[in-house]
């Protein structure tokens, strides 16, 4: 399958006081399957992973209902409060739905960069591991050291770094992002998404600006642990769906060492299918 490993839906009526603000006109409206379907069809994409964008269990239940009614949404990454006393019970309940494939605390929005390294997160992480769920890490570069400590504490928990931890592409900065993400890539259970890069690029939205970061991910995670995602509709702040799909393929064609055809099939679908245990078409 060709898989978009990272996309969102939302209803503004559910998000009062939440992101996005009205100033972001390109994404300040409802987005649902009917909006994404034409883009998937044009790109020949078979399946998607629907990822949370609001810290709400109710929103997770809504996403699961959307996935149940949308054949090409093959998995949902939801949310629970990892430090809640009943977090393991919440995870047990949500995991009864086979469409739940992972969970994502919104770490980038938390004031404590070491939040995820707190041992208080261990019961939730252990519950995720029991159910074979994937931990989606929405982090910024400064939070990578804490994520590494969390990953080292839970070697049996599959982890995927969303949007490559949002490196400072607009400023052309590689350090310390590359060194910190390399320490995570050294852990075999850690994966990374080739997603969200264009919205971090500012005015530098071309292959030349993105190539050093994409190449670093290819070198660090290899063909078996890198997943392509659109981050749509957030992507609309920077480009159209087709633009990022084509640019990602252009970046892949420039990787060193040169990818084999099976490597690119893994990047654009196979790795997501395996990691999230998606059902085939």
Q: What gap in Å lies between CA 1 and CA 148, rounded to an integer?
A: 31
- Degrees, nearest 5: CA angle 143-9-19: 55
pLDDT above 90 as % of the chain:
97
Q: Specify the pLDDT at position 280.
A: 81
Per-residue pLDDT, averaged over 100-128, amounts to 97
With 70 as the cut, is the pLDDT of residue 281 above it? no
With 90 as the cut, is the pLDDT of residue 239 above it? yes
Does the pTM surpass 0.85? The reply is yes
Q: What gap in Å lies between CA 7 and CA 30, rounded to an integer?
A: 14
pLDDT digits (tens, 9 = 90+) for 138-180: 999 999 999 999 999 999 999 999 999 999 999 999 999 999 9
pLDDT digits (tens, 9 = 90+) for 24-59: 999 999 999 999 999 999 999 999 999 999 999 999
Q: CB within 8 A of 123, min separation 6: which ones?
A: 87, 88
Per-residue pLDDT, averaged over 111-121, amounts to 97
Does an H or E element contain 49, and which? strand 47-51
């Amino acid at each position: 399958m060709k898989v978009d490993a990272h996309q969102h839906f939302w209803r503004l009526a559910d998000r009062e006081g939440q992101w996005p603000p009205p100033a972001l006109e390109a994404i300040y409206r409802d987005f649902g399957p009917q909006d994404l379907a034409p883009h998937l069809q044009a790109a020949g994409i078979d399946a998607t992973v629907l990822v949370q964008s609001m810290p709400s269990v109710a929103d997770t239940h809504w996403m699961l209902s959307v996935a149940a009614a949308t054949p090409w949404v093959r998995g949902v990454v939801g949310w629970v409060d990892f430090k809640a006393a009943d977090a393991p019970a919440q995870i047990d309940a949500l995991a009864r739905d086979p469409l739940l494939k992972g969970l994502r605390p919104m770490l980038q929005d938390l004031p404590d960069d070491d939040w995820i390294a707190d041992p208080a997160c261990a019961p939730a992480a252990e519950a995720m591991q029991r159910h074979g769920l994937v931990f989606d890490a929405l982090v910024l570069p400064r939070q990578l050291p804490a994520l590494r400590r969390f990953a080292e504490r839970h070697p049996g928990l599959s982890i995927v770094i969303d949007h490559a931890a949002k490196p400072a592409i607009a400023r052309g900065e590689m350090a310390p992002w590359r060194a910190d993400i390399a320490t995570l890539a050294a852990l075999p259970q850690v994966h990374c998404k080739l997603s969200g890069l264009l919205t971090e690029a500012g005015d530098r939205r071309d292959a030349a600006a993105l190539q050093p970061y994409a190449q670093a991910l290819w070198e660090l995670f290899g063909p078996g642990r890198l997943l392509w995602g659109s981050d749509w509709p957030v992507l609309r702040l920077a480009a159209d769906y087709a633009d990022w799909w084509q640019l990602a393929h252009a970046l892949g064609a420039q990787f060193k060492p040169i990818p084999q055809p099976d490597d690119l099939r893994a990047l654009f679908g196979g790795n997501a299918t395996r990691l999230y245990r998606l059902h085939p078409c």
